[in-house]
Chain A
Amino acid sequence: MITFIPLYAFTRKVPVYESFVEGAKDGFGTAIAIIPHLVGMLVAISVFRASGALDFLMGFIAPALQGLGVPPEVLPLGLLRPLTGTGSLAYTTDLIRVHGPDSLIGMIASTIQGSTDTTLYVLTVYFGAVGIRNGRYALKVGLFSDIVGFVAAIAICMLAFG
């Protein structure tokens, strides 16, 4: 793709370099415009985690999961995933390191990480870039699909590898 696009454009008599630089300028401005949004979001997430509120929340949900035979180790992943991509990737890496990549926990964690996304980050970046303040129902839909993806990942892995 990296060579095809410029080559194709060149055959179409597009001034490729000038066109690239023109578009690239937008990229810089966009990255800068995102900063305030990202700082606001990441501060809230980081505060929520450091205060122990996240651990407290997890204490409620873990026993219910254990009853279903779901390894409770994967639960924090479901809570972290929509909030922080690097945080959840770090957590997944840790689960894989401790339990092994081919263990049930390792498979579930890998699948969750691969099939859901950092909803709050995506929302912040995309809406932040165009100055949308009222996201309407986008957050609800995003979180709903995260929950479905999380549950589906666990169910499918338990069927396939359990």
Chain B
Amino acid sequence: MINGIWLAMIVIGFVFAAVNGRMDEFTAAVFDGAKSGVTVSFGLISVLVFWMGMMRVAEDAGLLRKIARLLGPVVGFLFPDVPKGHPAIGYILSNMSANLLGLGNAATPMGIKAMQELQTLNPDKETATPAMCTLLALNTASITLIPATLIAIRLNFGSAEPAGIVGTTLAATAVATLAAIAADRLFRRLTLLRRPPKPPAIRPGDSARGGPALPHSSMKG
């Protein structure tokens, strides 16, 4: 699906640019987009480096395992196929709590760590597992308790009640999250029905080295 959307956006963009006589803007947009892709990635370096360092400390201290045991049942319901006590659960929980607190910057590294842990459970390294899809669903619905950025912007423009959006945001985010969980469940069920569970592709002799080189293989801790 992502292949189709990506191609469609570029082709449709090109056709519209040609028809509207905006070829110059089209070309400029290509390099603009590429540049912001690199800028955003570099902007993420500081945050990712800091929080992943912090998360390693928390992990080594046994904090993540503790949280995982405490909130296990919730995650157990949402992620039935992740074994109890697996390190992924700790990261998933940290990711969820950071999102709740509106710490988007801290949520991303934890989400990525969770993904990397879920990847260790994945028999087909290029296809997302249902658990990965659930993690994404939770993140795109972005359960938020305190929309800090928005409150700051509203304050900046002289709002009489900058935090007046907390209630509506909470309500909307709750509805979106429930919808995401429901949709995720439905799709999960549908995929299971469509293709009967095939035997895992890993054979005893297969190590992680067996597959095509993954971009992250060099940085797996």
Which residues on the B side are within 8 Å of A160 (C-beta)?
167-168
What is the minimal beta-carbon distance from B186 to any residue of chain A, in angstroms? 9
Contact (Cβ within 8 A) A123 B136:
yes
What is the minimal beta-carbon distance from B170 to any residue of chain A, in angstroms? 8
Q: Whole-angstrom distance between the alpha carbons of A20 and B140 in the complex?
A: 29
Task: Name the residue in A8, A12, A28, A47 with the highest tally of chain B Cβ atoms < 10 Å from its Cβ.
Answer: A47
Smallest Cβ-Cβ distance to B171: which chain A residue: A156
Q: How many residues of A contact B (CB 8 A)?
A: 94
Of A6, A41, A133, A148, the contact of B57 (CB 8 Å cutoff): A6
Contact (Cβ within 8 A) B17 A52:
yes
Smallest Cβ-Cβ distance to A149: which chain B residue: B176
Q: Whole-angstrom distance between the alpha carbons of A130 and B51 in the complex?
A: 18
If A47-B9, A127-B115, A149-B179 are given as contacts, then 12 extra A-B residue pairs at C-beta distance below 8 Å, sorted by A number, are A6-B57, A9-B58, A27-B52, A48-B9, A50-B28, A110-B165, A117-B139, A125-B112, A137-B191, A140-B1, A141-B183, A152-B175
Of the 9-residue stretches A29-37, A60-68, A71-79, which lies at the interface with chain B?
A29-37
User: 10 A–B contact pairs at CB < 8 A?
Assistant: A1-B54, A19-B53, A27-B53, A32-B45, A47-B29, A127-B115, A130-B116, A137-B191, A142-B180, A152-B176
A80 interface residue, CB < 8 Å from B? no
B206 interface residue, CB < 8 Å from A? no
What is the minimal beta-carbon distance from B106 to any residue of chain A, in angstroms? 8
A115-B176, A130-B119, A134-B126 given as contacts; is B30 within 8 A of A47 (CB)? yes
B132 interface residue, CB < 8 Å from A? yes
A47-B26, A48-B9, A136-B133 given as contacts; is B158 within 8 A of A101 (CB)? yes
Contact (Cβ within 8 A) B168 A111:
yes
Q: Whole-angstrom distance between the alpha carbons of A146 and B49 in the complex?
A: 29
Contact (Cβ within 8 A) B49 A138:
no
Task: Name the residue in A100, A110, A115, A125 with the highest tally of chain B Cβ atoms < 10 Å from its Cβ.
Answer: A115
A58 interface residue, CB < 8 Å from B? no
Of A26, A52, A131, the contact of B215 (CB 8 Å cutoff): A131
Smallest Cβ-Cβ distance to B102: which chain A residue: A114
B193 interface residue, CB < 8 Å from A? no
